[in-house]
Amino acid sequence: MRTKTFPHGIHPDESKQLTADKPLETMPPPEKVFIPLLQHFGSPAEPLVNKGDEVSLGQKIGEGKTLFSASVHSSVSGKVLAVDHYLHPGGNMVPAVTIANDGADRSLFPEKETKDPISLSPEEIREKVKEAGIVGLGGAAFPTSVKLTPPKDKPIDTIIINGCECEPILTADYRLMLEFPEDILKGAEIICKATGANRLLVGIEDNKRSAFEALRKCAQNTRAEIVLLKTKYPQGAEKNLISALLQREVPRGGLPFDVGVMVQNVGTTKAVWEAVSQGIPLYQRAITVSGPGIKEPKNLLVRLGTSFKEAVDFCGGLKGGSNLLVMGGPMMGLSQWSLEVPVVKATSGILAWDAPSPASEYACISCSRCVGHCPMRLVPTQLMKCVKYENLTLAENWGILDCVECGCCQYVCPSKIPLVHWIRWGKNEVMSLKRKKSA
Amino acid sequence: MPEKNNSFIIQSSPHLREKDSVPKIMFSVIISLLPAAFASVYFFRFRAALLLFSCLAASLITEALFLWLRKRPLRYLLDGSAAITGILLAMTLPPSLPLEFAIIGAVVAIGLGKQAFGGLGHNIFNPALVGRAFLQTAFPVAMTTWIPPAMIKVNTATFATPLGNLKFQDAISQGTLTSLEELFWGNVGGCLGETSALALMLGALYLLLRRSIDWRIPVGIILSLSLFTGIFWLTNPGKYASPLFHVLAGSLLIGALFMATDMVTSPISPLGAWIYALGIGLVIGLIRLFGGYAEGVMYSILFMNAFVPLLNKYTRPRILGEERKT
């Protein structure tokens, strides 16, 4: 079968065999959970509980009150120990609720099962998704209810369910597709309903053929088209996925709805189904705990707020000599300095390995490999030089804000220049300059 | 605040890197030059070996000296780039050139051609060609005196290169034009690296397979030179040599495969690379057919090197989602 793809990109070692055949295992809830009130793109949720309160599983403990925010729910039943600040995997201290688990898992859901979820109106669906605190589970953690509300003048004709999981090592999405294909397809139908889209595509890389088969079997007699894509990083990057599947280009600075498309991750789609059909809030998620530094790599269903340490210990602990701990994939993940951070909605994986000491850096030799691999077709070396020599106007003209920080350029750079680091810094500088100008 | 675990390092993503590196690329270029270097020693014996060794040594010493003066780490000496410049320079010299001239050429190549701009990655012109251009101007006679390969026994004191023969001795009407077969195997007069087309292509094939050089550049140069010389050949084959002759003769192949493809001094965008390559081929054709020199590869590459910053500026690839220019 001919697989679809996008130009450029890279082929890093996948290392998915570590966990690909390991079914999702439900990790027992921990003694204590640390639930940040900021687990999404936007402003923190406002706490609804106080120290000493008794909470039940799935109870809303933080309310997203602004437009760009999301509600947060308790992932255990028990007693609130503290409402203060806690370390977030993003590297900063954020408002958080600490809850002692009483082990009873008293829950409020399913309140009442929705008889016929597909007959709900778009507004009802969005309300349920918002109530469940769902955010994009691919890693960006954008509030899903906001995403499901595109501007009136931008009709959505196609929904793409993103099952690429193009990051090496991660396999949680693969397991979700393999084990819950029906939930994912039903969730996708709900999303179509909420947006009025007619066409439904599910994109899967061809290294996950069993998931492709599982979904295709379920999709018979539905409108869902399951499409096989070439295994290439970053196949799952929104704009590249859209270009691979539909040959549509999202305009610079634009969003998928500008070309009538909405992309949702498979995990998000499953969460939408659970929220809309049974009123289950987002209190747990699938993650991959893996990498050469983990003794027994696994795919887990973990409660949000579980510390990395407990999740890693549940997988046999760290091997000696592991000096790199990453949340997310090895290409775009965030390195962590502590195991004491909690699993949040954006945690797609916890990876550990022994990173080699940084290779010596050389000057750019204009080999143009970064240009030949950039999926956004930028000139990373030029952007790096613009930032280094503080010419931000030029950096902006050369498209620094179009960079998605996928890391292909730095992966291939023979001079070992930290290109993404320079570009990320430059993006911040350009944005703050813009804010100053508009203020 | 949780305790900091000192065993974890913090770094910015991506956390994976390909194994290829600048020294690996440079050493692959050195390896790819070996067939041609051996061929030159085969054809010109001890002279070739001496020239290669002097240029290599002089380049490395000059590089070390400049790194020391500029207070740069000496490990840059081991990146292999200075060695390439030395070997490449030697490959562009006539085998009879006095060694002291060759050494001066190497010092100029590294000092003026590379380190004066800030070292590896910062030079505008191909360093080996800067060295050669200097020698051509400073010692014009020595740089255009040729000896025959060791296999050819001639009685005349002077010996012409195939291109010199074509240009200044009316080789086509005299019927003395060098055969394509001899050009291919390399049993002809010329610079060290101009002789064997086969050895050069073998080396370049390795670089192409390894993706150390951009295929567009040699293809573009050969294409535009063939087109240009082909038009004249078709109109008057009694006066002009065939495109194949032009491609195989002189320093076209070493220039197109190893000099013009120098990463530092060639464009970074695919479109830029095409314009650069087509430009080089065209200028070579103009010099060879209508210029005062028999050969024009060196000046063409240096000429187009000068345009690389401009090409980089005006051939930025279209960003994904950017409106197509109409």
Q: What is the pLDDT of residue A13?
A: 94
- Our count of domains for chain B comes to 2
Q: Exposed, middle or buried: residue B64 (CB in 10 Å: 0-12, 13-18, 19+)? A: middle
Reading across the β-sheet that carries A60-63, which strands appear in turn?
A46-47, A60-63, A72-73
In a domain, B10, yes or no: no
pLDDT for A50 beyond 90:
yes
Name the amino acid, one letter, at A183.
D
**Sequence letter at residue B242:** S
Whether B111 and B164 share a structural domain: no
pLDDT, tens digit, for every residue of A53-84? 999 999 999 998 888 899 999 999 999 999 99
Chain A residues touching B9 at Cβ < 8 A: 323-324, 335, 355
Residue B44 structure tokens: 């010109």
Q: Per-residue pLDDT tens for A340-396?
A: 999 999 999 999 999 988 888 999 999 999 999 999 999 999 999 999 999 999 999
Residue A213, H or E segment: helix A209-219
Same structural domain, B127 and B175? no
Residue B319 lies inside a defined structural domain of this protein: no
* Identity of residue B28: S
CA distance A62 to A94: 13
Task: Give me chain A's average pLDDT, please.
Answer: 94
Q: Summarize the confidence of residues A5-28 as an average pLDDT.
A: 94
Residues B196, B248 within the same domain: yes
Q: Where is the domain boundary, B80, B111, B142?
A: B142
pLDDT of residue B154: 63
Residue A144 pLDDT: 94
HEC states along B103-117?
A: HHHHHHHHHCCCHHH
The predicted pLDDT at position A291 comes to 95
Q: What is the pLDDT along chain B (326 residues), one digit of tens a residue?
A: 455 555 799 999 999 999 999 999 999 999 999 999 999 999 888 999 999 999 999 999 999 999 999 999 988 898 999 999 999 999 999 999 999 999 999 999 999 999 999 999 999 999 999 999 999 999 999 998 888 887 776 655 556 788 888 888 777 877 778 888 888 877 778 888 887 888 999 999 999 999 889 999 999 999 999 999 999 999 998 889 999 999 998 899 999 999 999 999 999 999 999 999 999 999 999 999 998 888 889 999 999 999 999 999 999 999 999 988 76
- C-alpha Rg value of chain A to the nearest Å: 21
Q: Residue A168's pLDDT is what?
A: 96
Residue extents of the structural domains in chain A: 1-26+108-354, 369-438
- Report residue A169's pLDDT band, with 50, 70 and 90 as the boundaries: very high
User: Number of C-alpha atoms within 13 angstroms, CB side, residue B263?
Assistant: 23
Residues B250 and B279 in one domain: yes
Helix (H, G, I), strand (E, B) or coil at A3: coil
Task: Note down the domain range covering B231.
Answer: 155-314
On whether any CB of chain B is under 8 Å from the CB of A313, the answer is no
pLDDT per position as a tens digit, A213-240? 999 999 998 999 999 999 999 999 999 9
Could you read off the pLDDT of A411-437 as tens digits, one per residue?
Answer: 999 999 999 999 999 999 999 999 998
Pair B304, B209 in one domain: yes
Q: Which residue of A has its CA nearest to B118?
A: A363
Six-digit token pair at A131? 């109530």
Tell the CATH topology of A1-26+108-354: Rossmann fold (3.40.50)
B118, B142, B166 - which closes a domain:
B142
Beta bridge partners of A163: A204
Is the CB of A48 inside 8 Å of chain B's CB atoms?
no
Residue A406 backbone phi and psi in degrees, to 5: -70, -25
What whole-number distance in Å separates Cα of residue A256 and Cα of residue A154?
Answer: 10
**B89 assigned to some structural domain:** yes
pLDDT for residue B167 = 82
Asked if the structure places residue B221 within a domain, the reply is yes
Identify the pLDDT of residue A430. Answer: 95
Task: Output the pLDDT for position B4.
Answer: 54
- Domain boundary at B87, B120, B142, which? B142
B118 with B167, same domain?
no
Choose from B16, B274, B313, B315 for mutation: most chain A CBs within 10 A: B16
Is the distance from CB of A265 to CB of A197 less than 8 angstroms? no
What tokens does A250 get? 């999202």
| B130 and B99 together in one domain | yes
Output the six-digit token pair for A69.
């925010």
Among A residues 154-183, those touching chain B with beta carbons less than 8 Å apart: 168
Please check whether residue B240 lies inside any domain of the structure. Answer: yes
Task: State yes or no: pLDDT of A112 exceeds 80.
Answer: no
Q: How far apart (Å, rounded) are the C-alpha atoms in residues B216 and B212?
A: 12
Is B161 in the same domain as B204?
Answer: yes
Predicted TM-score (pTM) above 0.90: yes
**Rounded average pLDDT over A100-113:** 82
Distance CA B70, CA B59 (A): 16
Residues B207 and B286 in one domain: yes
Does A1 have pLDDT greater than 70? no
Domain match, B120 and B163 both = no
- Tokens encoding A94: 């954020």
Q: Does B11 sit within 8 Å of A324, measured CB to CB?
A: yes
pLDDT in tens, A234-260: 999 999 999 999 999 999 999 999 999
Q: Which amino acid appears at position A206 of this protein?
A: D
Cβ distance B11 to A378 less than 8 Å, yes or no, reads: no
pLDDT for position B326:
60
pLDDT band at A179 (very low <50, low <70, confident <90, very high): very high
**Do A335 and B319 count as a contact with CB atoms less than 8 A apart?**
no
Token pair recorded at residue B56: 């290599």
Chain A nearest-CA distance from B77, in A, is 12
**Smallest CA–CA separation between A162 and chain B, in Å?**
20
Same domain, yes or no: B269 and B164? yes
Query: Which residues, other chains included, contact A113 with Cβ-Cβ below 8 Å and sequence gap of 6+?
Result: A277, A278, A279
Alpha helices in A71-117 (DSSP H): none
> Which chain A residues are closer than 8 Å to B21 by Cβ?
359, 362, 414-416
What is the per-residue pLDDT for B306? 97
Token pair for B127? 């360093």
- In a shared domain, residues B115 and B226: no
